[in-house]
Chain A
Amino acid sequence: GAGVSQSPSNKVTEKGKDVELRCDPISGHTALYWYRQSLGQGLEFLIYFQGNSAPDKSGLPSDRFSAERTGGSVSTLTIQRTQQEDSAVYLCASSSRQSNQPQHFGDGTRLSIL
C-alpha cells in the first residue's frame, strides 16, 4: 500500500480481555517497529522486526505483550489479560533495510481499557 496501515484505529475493551493489533507495513519494507505512546509520555519503543525475526524485543513491558510477523509483512501485537495501564496509542513504523532510511509511521491504534 501507499503507507503503513494499522487496524483497528480504535479499540475499547474490558480489563482482563486479550487484544490483537495489526500493522501492515509499506510494501518492500523489511524493518518494522512497534511503539507505545501513553498520555503525557514520549513514544516508547516496544519491539523491532527485521523480516520475520525480532532481534530486539527489549521494550516489551511484560510477558503479557507479544508480537509476531509472518511473511515478512503484516505484524500483530497481542496484549493478554489487559490492564488499565495498557491504555495508550500503539504506533507501528516501517523502513527499508538500509539503516540510514527514516521510519514511516501508521496512524496508530488508540486502545482504551475500561
Chain B
Amino acid sequence: KQEVTQIPAALSVPEGENLVLNCSFTDSAIYNLQWFRQDPGKGLTSLLLIQSSQREQTSGRLNASLDKSSGRSTLYIAASQPGDSATYLCAVSTLGGGYQKVTFGIGTKLQVIP
C-alpha cells in the first residue's frame, strides 16, 4: 500500500526566503507525482505535475523535483511571498484498471510572514 509522508508538517518563514518542502513515498512504481496548494476552506489547486519519466518541473517561482528510485520529491519555492501561505499537498498516482489512483500526504502548512 502506497504511503506518502510530508516533512515538515508546518513551516513559518519570513518573506523573501527560499524554502524546500519534502515528500517521500514508499512504492516507487508511480505514474506521476503532483503538488497541490490548498487554501483554508477551499479545494485543491494543482501547482506542478511530474510524470514518472521526468525529473523536474518548473512554474514561475516553483520547482519540483522527482527521484523515483529513492521515493522522494521536493518542492522548491523561491523568494517566498505572504500570498504563498497555504497548505501544500504532495500526491502520487499509480495506474490500474485504466485510471489513476491517487494517494495524498497530509501536507505542509506554510506561513510566510511579511
Known pairs A42-B105, A100-B51, A103-B46; list 19 more (Cβ under 8 Å).
A33-B102, A42-B103, A42-B107, A43-B89, A43-B91, A48-B101, A50-B99, A55-B97, A56-B97, A56-B101, A91-B43, A93-B44, A95-B100, A99-B98, A99-B99, A100-B32, A102-B46, A105-B36, A105-B43
| Chain B residues positioned under 8 Å from A100 (CB to CB) | 31-32, 51
Q: How large is the interface on A (under 10, 10 to 19, 20 to 34, 35 or more residues)?
A: 20 to 34
| Chain B residues positioned under 8 Å from A79 (CB to CB) | none
| Chain B residues positioned under 8 Å from A42 (CB to CB) | 4, 89, 103-107
Q: Encode B8-36 as 1/0 by CB contact (under 8 A) with A.
A: 00000000000000000000000110101
A31 adjacent to chain B (CB < 8 Å): yes
B110 adjacent to chain A (CB < 8 Å): no
Expressed in whole angstroms, the Cα–Cα distance for A45 and B106 within the complex equals 13
B78 adjacent to chain A (CB < 8 Å): no
Expressed in whole angstroms, the Cα–Cα distance for A99 and B36 within the complex equals 18
Asked whether A108 lies within 8 Å of B99 as measured between CB atoms, the reply is: no
Expressed in whole angstroms, the Cα–Cα distance for A108 and B39 within the complex equals 12
| Chain A residues positioned under 8 Å from B79 (CB to CB) | none
In the complex, which residue of chain A has the Cβ closest to the Cβ of B9? A40
